[in-house]
Amino acid sequence: MILFRSMTEEEYPAYLEYFIPDYADEIGSNYGISKSDSLARAKQEISELLAEGVNTHGQILLSIVTKLDVYERHVGYLWYKPDTAMRTVFIYDFHIFNSFQGKGLGKQALRAFEDNLQDKGFKEIRLRVAGDNARALHIYESSGFGVTGINMSKAIVR
């Protein structure tokens, strides 16, 4: 069984330790900027988006947990922003720890998240995934997500 619980302040530093380098790698890969510049950009964006950490208004940071009998196991993270007026949510980050990948937990977690949102009256889940992230693309597509646009960029050089 998949459960979601609010990320604790104690868990937040470990989340940033995973997320910032991962996001910096995506920035560097997508925009062709140096590792140090992409790391600085990732840190800056996160400090703006999550100015109050786990208590940032309008941002929901969750820990994904599996439960068997009385045992709970922390298996990943989910960060999203709800838009109650539009009845949509935008997923900023969804991550199953590497040691738990390949066991169907990602699909189970997405399904449980969808069920939870549906119970609350939400109508759509939105997200952005890097074009070179084949594993994430597979999980999202096999979970019923469809492409709604394509991000593109071009460096201006002389």
Instruction: Give residues with Cβ within 8 angstroms of 77, minimum separation 6.
Output: 7, 15, 18, 19, 61, 62, 63, 64, 93, 94, 95
pLDDT tens digits for range 106-151: 999 999 999 999 999 999 999 998 877 888 888 999 999 998 888 7
Question: Where do the domains of the chain lie, and which CATH numbers do they carry?
Answer: 2-142 (3.40.630.30)
Residue 14 pLDDT grade (very low, low, confident, very high; cuts 50, 70, 90): very high
Q: What integer pLDDT is reported at residue 18 of this predicted model?
A: 95
List Cα–Cα distances, 155 to 24, 31, 126, 150, in angstroms.
18, 8, 27, 17
Give the Cα separation of 110 and 125 in Å (integer). 10
Q: What is the pTM of this model?
A: 0.91
pLDDT tens digits for range 36-95: 999 999 999 999 999 999 999 999 999 999 988 788 999 999 999 999 999 999 999 999
